[in-house]
Chain A
């Protein structure tokens, strides 16, 4: 069953120019398009596993420092505002959803929805970074809540609070870097989507960039409770 009216001529003979995604053919060394797509996705998962291991080092460092200096870390989580952390969690979850919807739109050739979802995702990325920088990093840094040797906060009550700020800035800083990289990738996808490059036959780039963005979301899902909620 199909909704296409087969009485009318289709394809090139219809007088309509094909979109780039329709002309896409897999590399000649691939048996078929699906093999190429699966290999690209598998490669992205391998890369994501190295990203997870990068953050694993930070998480283990967090666990060790927390075991050694629980009072400093308890004080540290009290310094953070759960509202901004929670808001950023919601922002990232929504952006993850819009990316999933963008991939779906590319699969279904809904070009408009592909762009709309990508634009919403980029707005979320800007919102996340603005909240992080304007409401968390700058106010904290300016009163001396700085990492390690830069620490200059006069009202601290535990000598290991500089260590807490080291972990905090390292973890959230590397995560924010990933937000920027992910936003850059999705901007590239958005620009190319205006040329009609992505569609049901060619959406590997949307899918893999989306996977990267979901990883950013995954990391934050763990950073949020560890930094903001556990006292």
Chain B
């Protein structure tokens, strides 16, 4: 990099051989670019900083495991926040110096920031939707979990700390058992109840499979050991399918937007029909009470 010493500092690099150099001082501005040339020392420094931050983020990821071995449990939240924050710092360095945004017209930076803003909206509204479904219908909330710990991948991983996932699954199974028991008017389901629920589930499962594919695809069996993955999926879906309700990861459509519209039995059967006026009357009465 011999060009960078003080002797050559005054050279017009867009015309280093002075082809267009006019001794009279009339310089043709219209033909030349006047770029900002980043000093190579800056670029080397940025590269070293990027490598440093790469080492740091790997170190931070390992630190979680070390902390666990010393009895400190770093939550999954901080694991994510640290990793993504370091990535943002690295990306900013690349954008500012390697991509010259620091020295460019601000228009290019505006394009990038606008894009990132749209990305933020995309992520935010999707996350809010998924995270807050439980506020509308509690049964849709239980699948969303804060984080896994790779417990299935580590021998003796049961010592890693609170296994949230297992607790949630246990909770879901208990709720399912309670639902089955309630169907039979009991506090806890007995063997026959569970067997019946299981049979009911498989009937529904096969029925919908066959119906969806017009009978072209044969139903899968639990002893279809050649497709062990299909077996797992089917087994896992049992809990949710048995309840026949939508949750965060499976949508079970009803017939039409109006609940009960196509039901063969009147859902209000056995109750006194008010002809739809009851709600209005109650609301009116409530309002009148509030005024007094």
Contacts and interface: CB of A to CB of B under 8 A. Distances in A.
Given A49-B114, A107-B35, A221-B90, A3 B83 contact: no
A70 B147 contact: yes
Interface residues of B, number: 92
A41 interface: yes
Interface in B69-115: 76, 79-80, 83-84, 86-87, 90-91, 94-95, 97-100, 104-105, 107-108, 111-112, 114-115
Contacts of B240: none
Contacts of A152: 229
9 nearest A-B pairs in the assembled complex, by CB-CB distance: A74-B148, A157-B152, A71-B148, A1-B10, A225-B83, A70-B148, A229-B61, A49-B115, A159-B232
A10 B108 contact: no
Interface in B34-66: 34-35, 37-38, 40, 43-44, 46-47, 50-51, 54, 57-58, 60-61, 64
Interface string B209-230: 0000000000000000000110
Contact of B108 (A2, A22, A25, A42): A42
B3 interface: yes
B273 interface: no
B33 interface: yes
17 contacts: A2-B18, A3-B11, A56-B119, A60-B123, A68-B143, A68-B249, A71-B145, A86-B54, A86-B58, A93-B50, A103-B100, A104-B38, A107-B35, A157-B152, A210-B98, A210-B99, A226-B83
A182 interface: no
Interface of A: 1-4, 6, 10-12, 18, 22, 25-26, 31-34, 37-38, 41-42, 45-46, 48-49, 52-53, 56-57, 59-60, 63-64, 67-75, 77-79, 82, 86, 89-90, 93-94, 96-97, 99-101, 103-104, 107-110, 151-152, 154, 156-160, 162, 200-201, 203, 207, 210-211, 214, 217-218, 221-222, 224-226, 229-231
B165 interface: yes
Interface of B is mostly: helix
A12 B17 CA distance: 11
Given A78-B153, A108-B3, A218 B91 contact: yes
B87 A71 contact: no
A128 B121 CA distance: 32
A173 to B, nearest CB: 20
A4 B58 contact: no
Interface of B: 3, 7-21, 23, 29-35, 37-38, 40, 43-44, 46-47, 50-51, 54, 57-58, 60-61, 64, 76, 79-80, 83-84, 86-87, 90-91, 94-95, 97-100, 104-105, 107-108, 111-112, 114-116, 118-119, 122-123, 126-127, 130-131, 143-154, 165, 228-229, 232-233, 235-236, 248-249
A221 B87 contact: yes
B61 A52 contact: no
B105 A38 contact: yes
